C-alpha cells in the first residue's frame, strides 16, 4: 500500500474513489457517465442539493448563510472576497501567516485599504501572531486558518470583535467550527473536501450588496446564490466527488470524529519528531498544524537518504516546500493512523541506521 503524504491534490477515501470511478463509467440508471450528463438534469440537481445539505449538516450552517460551489480555486477568492465586501474607501485588516495570506493581501489591495495587523514573516512564518492591536473601523479581518507550507494552524480562531473572512482551504471539515464567528469562509477542495476544480464558499447573505462598486456578474456572490451555484455550467464531477467525501465524513462520525482522529495522528508524529535525534520541529509547538506536519533534519545530509528510505517504504510526498526545506507530512482526514504509524516506523529505522 502507498501512503500519500502530498499536500495537494491530496489523499481521498478509498470508498469515495470507488464510487467516483463507477460514476465515470455509468451514473445511476442513465447508462451515461457523470462527465456527460446535463447539469440541469434531475440527477445532477440532486447531487448539488445533497452536496449543500452535507455542508450544512457537517458544519451546522444556519439558513442565513449561503453555501456555494464555485470555480477558480481559493486563489480566485483572494480578490472575490475583497471585491464583494470592501469599499474603495474602507479598510480591512489582514494577518500575514505565509504565502497564501500574502497573496490574499496583494489581491485585496486592488479594491480598498489594507492594513497588515500582524505578520510572522520575521521568523519564516514559524508561528501564529497573537498579541497585536485591532484598530477601529475595520470592515473585516482576513486570516488563513492553516498554512500548508510553513505548517502552522490556528487551534482556535480568536474573537477579534470584527467580522471575519477566513481561508480554510486546508483544514475545513477537520474539526468543528463556529460558523457564526465568520462572515465568509472559502476553501479550495483539494485537501479535505474533494478533487481540485471546485471551491466551497460559505457566506452570510446580509453582508453582500453593501458597497457601491459595480461588480461583474460572474464575480458577484449574489449571482451564484440566486442561481444555486449554477449560473454557468458548474464543475460537476468535482462537486460529485466532494458530495461523496462529505457522505463519508458523515458516515464516520462527522467533524467531531475527525478532530479526535487528527489529534491522535498529530500526537503520534509530533511525539516522534520531538524524541528522534535525526529530526526537529520547524514551528512553535503551540501552533503546530494537524494537517501539514513540517519538520527538519538535524543534519542536512539526512534529507535525501530519508526521502529515499520513506519512498522505499511506500511513504510518498514527504519533501518540504522549497521555501522551508526539510520534510512535510500532510495528514488530512483521509490519512489513517496506520499511515502515520508507518511513517513513524521509517523515522525510527532511519535513526537506528544513521545515529
Give the active site residues.
100, 167, 191
DSSP reduced 3-state for 252: coil
Which positions ≥6 away from 84 have C-beta within 8 Å?
208, 211, 215, 219, 220, 221
237: number of CA atoms within 13 Å, CB side? 16
β-sheet bridge partners, residue 4 = 316
Instruction: Compute CA distances 293 → 268, 288, 335, whole Å.
Output: 11, 7, 13
Residue with cell 460537476: 236
Contact 298, 279 (CB under 8 A): yes
β-sheet bridge partners, residue 259 = none
CA distance 154 to 173: 14
Element (H, E) at 143: strand 138-144
DSSP reduced 3-state for 19: helix
Quote the DSSP letter at residue 87: -
Using only C-alpha atoms, the chain has a radius of gyration, in whole angstroms, of: 21
Contact 183, 140 (CB under 8 A): yes
CA distance 294 to 319: 9
Instruction: Compute CA distances 229 → 9, 53, 207, 221, 331, whole Å.
Output: 23, 14, 18, 9, 30
Which positions ≥6 away from 271 have C-beta within 8 Å?
none
User: Nearest Cα to 174, choosing from 347, 334, 13?
Assistant: 334
Residue with cell 493512523: 337
Which positions ≥6 away from 275 have C-beta within 8 Å?
none
Amino acid at each position: 500500500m502507498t501512503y500519500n503524504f502530498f499536500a495537494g491534490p491530496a489523499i481521498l477515501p478509498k470508498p469515495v474513489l470507488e464510487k467516483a470511478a463507477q460514476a465515470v463509467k455509468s451514473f445511476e440508471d442513465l447508462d451515461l457517465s457523470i462527465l456527460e450528463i446535463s447539469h440541469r438534469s434531475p440527477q445532477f440537481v440532486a447531487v448539488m442539493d445533497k452536496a449543500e445539505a452535507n455542508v450544512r449538516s457537517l458544519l451546522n450552517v444556519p439558513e442565513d448563510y449561503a453555501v456555494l460551489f464555485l470555480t477558480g480555486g481559493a486563489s480566485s477568492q483572494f480578490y472575490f472576497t475583497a471585491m464583494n465586501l470592501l469599499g474603495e474607501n474602507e479598510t480591512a485588516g489582514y494577518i500575514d501567516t505565509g504565502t497564501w495570506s500574502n497573496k490574499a493581501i496583494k489581491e485585496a489591495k486592488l479594491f480598498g485599504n489594507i492594513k497588515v495587523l500582524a505578520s510572522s514573516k520575521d521568523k519564516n512564518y514559524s508561528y501564529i501572531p497573537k498579541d497585536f492591536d485591532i484598530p477601529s473601523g475595520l470592515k473585516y479581518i482576513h486570516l488563513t486558518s492553516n498554512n500548508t507550507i510553513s505548517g502552522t494552524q490556528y487551534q482556535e480562531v480568536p474573537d477579534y470583535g470584527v467580522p471575519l473572512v477566513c481561508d480554510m482551504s486546508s483544514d475545513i471539515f477537520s474539526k468543528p467550527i463556529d460558523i457564526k464567528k465568520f462572515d465568509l469562509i472559502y476553501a479550495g477542495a483539494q485537501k479535505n473536501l474533494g478533487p481540485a476544480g471546485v471551491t466551497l464558499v460559505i457566506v452570510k447573505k446580509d453582508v453582500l450588496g453593501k458597497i457601491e462598486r459595480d461588480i461583474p456578474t460572474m464575480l458577484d456572490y449574489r449571482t451564484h446564490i440566486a442561481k444555486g451555484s449554477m449560473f454557468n455550467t458548474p464543475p460537476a464531477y468535482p462537486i460529485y466527488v466532494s458530495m461523496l467525501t462529505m457522505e463519508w465524513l458523515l458516515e464516520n462520525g462527522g467533524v467531531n470524529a475527525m478532530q479526535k482522529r487528527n489529534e491522535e495522528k498529530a500526537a503520534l508524529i509530533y511525539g516522534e519528531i520531538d524524541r528522534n535525534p535525526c529530526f526537529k520541529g520547524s514551528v512553535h509547538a503551540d501552533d503546530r498544524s494537524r494537517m501539514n506536519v513540517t519538520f527538519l533534519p538535524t543534519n542536512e545530509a539526512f534529507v535525501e537518504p530519508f526521502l529515499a528510505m520513506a519512498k522505499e517504504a511506500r511513504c510518498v510526498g514527504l519533501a518540504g516546500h522549497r521555501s522551508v526545506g526539510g520534510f512535510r507530512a500532510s495528514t488530512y482526514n483521509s490519512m489513517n493512523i496506520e499511515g502515520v504509524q508507518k511513517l513513524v516506523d521509517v523515522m525510527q529505522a532511519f535513526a537506528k541506521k544513521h545515529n
